[in-house]
Structure 1
Amino acid sequence: MYYSRYKRLFPGDVLVCIEELNIQDNTVLFDFIDSNEYTTFTDLINRAFDLTKPSMVLLNNYQGRPIQENTIYSIKPETIQSWSEQVNNSEDLNSFLIGYIIDVSNAGSEIFDSSVSLNDFLDWRLNYYMNGYGDSSAIPFHRKGKLSVTVRDVGQGNWNEINFNDETKVVYDAGAPMNASKPAVLNIIGNRNVLYKRAKPILILSHWDKDHYHSLLGMSNVDLQNNFSAFVCRDRVPNLTSRILFGRLNSSLGPSNTYSIPADVRRARGGATFFRNLNSLNNQIIIYNAQYHKNRNISGIALSVKSKKESIILSGDAHYEQVSRDILAHLNYRHRNNLVVPHHGGKAGTYVYKIPPLVRVKNAIISVGANRYGHPNTSYIGALHLAGFSIHQTNIAQNDITIYL
């Protein structure tokens, strides 16, 4: 049912976006589609409404019906009211991301009632301020100097740096694990506030998933202003947390330095979405934009970085098929190719990596930490080995991994 009709019929229901369903742990993480829904939630559980504190809600001991991630569901007000005595507040959780933990083991009925579709009008209303900022063709990606890429050891998250003469000029994601405490996130940030203040890199967010932007929540507005010269992201934000973060970055850097890129229109149904390069294939750093899909992983922004002798693909959480067909195919010159493995070595579609005739593979780097998802997947590890990659994992190295190009 569309939002406008649903709200007319059930004005008191709260609409939330499912960020993660963990079947093994029986947990659900959700956020609110906007501040209005969050206000209703805080009223129902008798808590203060405060947008300076995290809003995501973690449900423990969830035994309800299967639900889909990246989908909007409604929750009845009486269900939320029943949680008022079981809520652990953000002050107790010490998290930049999660504001509430609720034990729902005694839930007497289904928690998530109906899925709700945002119609075009509401999509525009929620995201209008993200459109039209900056011209992506003007992003200064072509630079000179000794080139390297660092895959940071951030645990179960993603944070990559593109360096020229050992100075970071592009940051691709700045994530941290979902359950990382505030001190843990600040430790991951470490000395980057100092290094970035001098280097002023461009910040590129592959997609709006929590493990790709969690560390940004641990930076103050002053840090964001000092650390980055520009911000590149997907234009549609899925939830309140990402909406607030976008607003902070846009305010800190200014609209002229904010490049919110709409997904390409997808006309065919089924299969993986396609990437399209947004700048010249002659550049050292090439930015790729995916088509729209409900699954954020395959509808994000990817990069390739190349020198005369080596290249590396920063894939975010894209699928191998996309990377092989739309990015690797552009790198058919005599050199060695490196890959930052998609999705922490986890689910990324069927393994397809068609190596062009002139290319030899070198390193496959996996950014991964302790997790309950089975990352990295052994079948992908085996396929990468068979392809000739030397595999390196941040959780085994217990350190950042730098590839010199």
Structure 2
Amino acid sequence: MLSTSAAARGSFEFDCIDADFADGVEGVITQAFTEPVTKPFAVVRIVTTPRRLEELAGGPGLPGNWFSLEIGPKGSAASMPTWHAQLQLNGFPSHSRGVTSNITYIESDEGGGPARPRPQSIGAAVADQVTVPSAIIAACALPSATNTLQAIAGILSSVAKVTTLRIKDVGQASFSSPCDKYGKTLLHYDVGFPISFNGHTSPKKFDIDPAEKPVVVLSHWDWDHLHAAFLHPHLMECVWIVPEQKLGPGAARLAHILAAKGGLLIHSTGVSTVFPSGEIAHANGPQGNLNNTGLTVQVELESGRFALLTGDVDYRFLTHSGVRPINHLIATHHGARFDSGSAAIPAPVSGSGKLLLSYGGHNVYRHPHPEALKLHAGAGWVNQVPTARYGALPRGDREVN
């Protein structure tokens, strides 16, 4: 939500595939996910209130729900402000602004969603029928994999003797790397970079060694946690450990690319994986919620301190097997508000805790939220260090050890 008023608007982002490309042509849909094409994929951002979106579309703007959108440069006074970014070889570097003149809920890939409504016009003519081939939903499933937790544990066996945790300044996104005493990256936790809607928050310079190809642990399949793979394609040559989640078209395309390279390891739900310097756990939030069913990582540094990397998971859904004294915490969801209270926040070791906040200044989501920062401070995280510029502190990477 973008404010706390009674009529608060929200920022709704849709991972899309062009209907004209996909309509009823199953073979073409399949090719789109297996060939190096970008044309049919896009991300659309709509700003409106949750109530208005549901009234117009006939279904809530929740993960797992599918919608038909009609967007253009102009509309009526009732149209919704919309930003449209088409996928390029380097991701989503630019967008155009227009309006959504029609939106219709189609169905849910989780089952049990509302019945399909009659299309409602908000300014333009509406087609008599809106259909979506079942092949689209099928193509967006994670590619099948025979990988086991043993394979994941094996590839993580070399992640040992972590000296430093580096939280990279990637603007409004998430990208962290445990490193050894020589500065060599041992693992990436998320490889995010802002898409065009938050492109103004990107750093002017972002250095990453293409010769380094450590394992990538993906918290969840949101673009601000994986977008750097399109700007730095060598990241697609890494092995990725990913959560078992339902995907949108663009995220599914990346999953198929990784699977074709033999680099996709799917971490099963309900389990954790211990490695020499830490543990990966699968959050146990509601099924279908990408944020709260993601992967979180606990890292033990050579100093004996512990760091907790949470992605966008609400703290009450953390499932790490051991209760560790946490010295460093990367705030969930870039410092956004979260539903659980301060009691769910892992407590810091007295006098040594650092709360790291990965966000970009003046981002469109208005992260971090003062309420979230206050809750963290109340839980003992008073030393709050952002990657964005803060007072006299310039923006930049942050390191803890």
TM-score (norm 2): 0.71
Q: CA deviation at 1:246?
A: 1.5
Quote the residue 1:65 is aligned against.
53
| CA-to-aligned-CA distance 1:342-392 (integer Å, 9 cap, x gap) | 001102222234667987651010001122433212222223223333110
Residue 129 of structure 1 pairs with residue 143 of structure 2? yes
Q: Could you list the runs of 5+ residues in structure 1 that have no partner in the other structure?
A: 1-19, 43-48, 265-275
Determine if contact 1:73/1:115 at 8 Å carries over to the other structure: yes
Matches within 5 A, 1:304-315: 304-307=298-301, 309-315=304-310
Question: Secondary structure, in 3 states, of the residue corresponding to 1:331?
Answer: coil
Quote the residue 1:169 is aligned against.
186
Matches within 5 A, 1:6-405: 28-32=12-16, 38-40=21-23, 51-53=37-39, 55-58=41-44, 64-66=52-54, 67-75=60-68, 80=70, 83=72, 96-97=91-92, 101=96, 103-104=98-99, 107=101, 110-118=102-110, 126-127=140-141, 129-134=143-148, 135-145=151-161, 147-165=163-181, 166-179=183-196, 190-192=206-208, 195-197=209-211, 199-220=212-233, 224-225=236-237, 228=238, 230-252=239-261, 254=262, 257-264=263-270, 276-279=271-274, 283-291=276-284, 293-307=287-301, 309-323=304-318, 326-327=319-320, 329-332=322-325, 337-350=327-340, 351-353=342-344, 361-369=352-360, 370-389=362-381, 390-395=383-388, 396=390, 397-404=394-401
Q: CA deviation at 1:83?
A: 4.0
Amino acid at match of 1:159: F
| CA-to-aligned-CA distance 1:187-244 (integer Å, 9 cap, x gap) | 56x331xx241x3211111000111111112233x5632xx3x211123341111111
Determine if contact 1:156/1:371 at 8 Å carries over to the other structure: yes
Q: Could you list the runs of 5+ residues in structure 2 that have no partner in the other structure?
A: 26-31, 55-59, 76-81, 113-133
User: In 2, Cα distance between the equivalents of 1:301 and 1:102?
Assistant: 34
Decide whether aligned partners of structure 1 residues 391 and 99 sit closer, same or farther in structure 2, where only a CA change above 3 A counts: closer
Decide whether aligned partners of structure 1 residues 293 and 146 sit closer, same or farther in structure 2, where only a CA change above 3 A counts: closer
Decide whether aligned partners of structure 1 residues 24 and 54 sit closer, same or farther in structure 2, where only a CA change above 3 A counts: farther
Determine if contact 2:172/2:198 at 8 Å carries over to the other structure: no
| CA-to-aligned-CA distance 1:176-196 (integer Å, 9 cap, x gap) | 2232688986956x331xx24
Amino acid at match of 2:329: L
Decide whether aligned partners of structure 1 residues 302 and 38 sit closer, same or farther in structure 2, where only a CA change above 3 A counts: farther
Determine if contact 1:286/1:305 at 8 Å carries over to the other structure: yes
Decide whether aligned partners of structure 1 residues 111 and 289 sit closer, same or farther in structure 2, where only a CA change above 3 A counts: same
Q: CA deviation at 1:159?
A: 0.5
Q: How many residues align?
A: 342
User: In 1, Cα distance between the equivalents of 2:307 and 2:368?
Assistant: 19
Q: CA deviation at 1:170?
A: 0.3
User: In 2, Cα distance between the equivalents of 1:100 and 1:357?
Assistant: 41
User: In 2, Cα distance between the equivalents of 1:118 and 1:355?
Assistant: 31
Q: CA deviation at 1:398?
A: 0.2
More helix by share: 1
Determine if contact 1:331/1:356 at 8 Å carries over to the other structure: no
User: In 2, Cα distance between the equivalents of 1:102 and 1:287?
Assistant: 40
Question: Secondary structure, in 3 states, of the residue corresponding to 1:127?
Answer: coil
Determine if contact 1:95/1:180 at 8 Å carries over to the other structure: no
User: In 2, Cα distance between the equivalents of 1:263 and 1:366?
Assistant: 27
Decide whether aligned partners of structure 1 residues 146 and 401 sit closer, same or farther in structure 2, where only a CA change above 3 A counts: same
Q: Percent identity?
A: 17
User: In 2, Cα distance between the equivalents of 1:92 and 1:125?
Assistant: 18
Q: CA deviation at 1:393?
A: 0.8
Q: CA deviation at 1:152?
A: 0.9
| CA-to-aligned-CA distance 1:315-335 (integer Å, 9 cap, x gap) | 000112234xx3395215xxx
User: In 1, Cα distance between the equivalents of 2:90 and 2:2?
Assistant: 19
